[in-house]
């Protein structure tokens, strides 16, 4: 599921940056519970949220979406394991 992959990518990027959820929420001007929801795959992020998080973490939006793609022929999302 897309949410699960994004959650794992976000959690990995946050930990690599050495931030707590509280620190990331302050940098991204978001509530800590929103960060928690995203990291637990409880919510799918909007584009603006992906951009805020990526910038706050010093990574690209693509890195937060790594391992996810759209298969045009099969008309479905593909999640790499």
Tens digit of pLDDT for each residue in 18-31? Answer: 999 999 999 999 99
Give the pLDDT mean for 41-52. Answer: 97
Bridge partner residues of 59 (DSSP): none
Q: Residue 65 pLDDT > 90, yes or no?
A: yes
Domains identified in the chain and CATH numbers:
2-79 (1.10.260.40)
Write down the pTM of the prediction: 0.93
HEC sequence for the chain: CHHHHHHHHHHHHHHHHCCCHHHHHHHCCCCHHHHHHHHCCCCCCCHHHHHHHHHHHCCCHHHHCCCEEEECCCCEEEECC
């Amino acid at each position: 599921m897309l949410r699960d992959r994004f959650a794992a990518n976000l959690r990995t990027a946050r930990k690599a940056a050495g931030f707590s959820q509280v620190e990331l929420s302050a940098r991204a001007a978001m509530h800590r519970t929103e960060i928690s929801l995203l990291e637990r795959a409880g919510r799918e992020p909007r584009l603006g949220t992906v951009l805020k998080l990526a910038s706050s973490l010093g990574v690209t939006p693509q890195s937060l979406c790594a391992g996810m793609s759209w298969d045009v022929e099969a008309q479905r999302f593909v999640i790499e394991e």
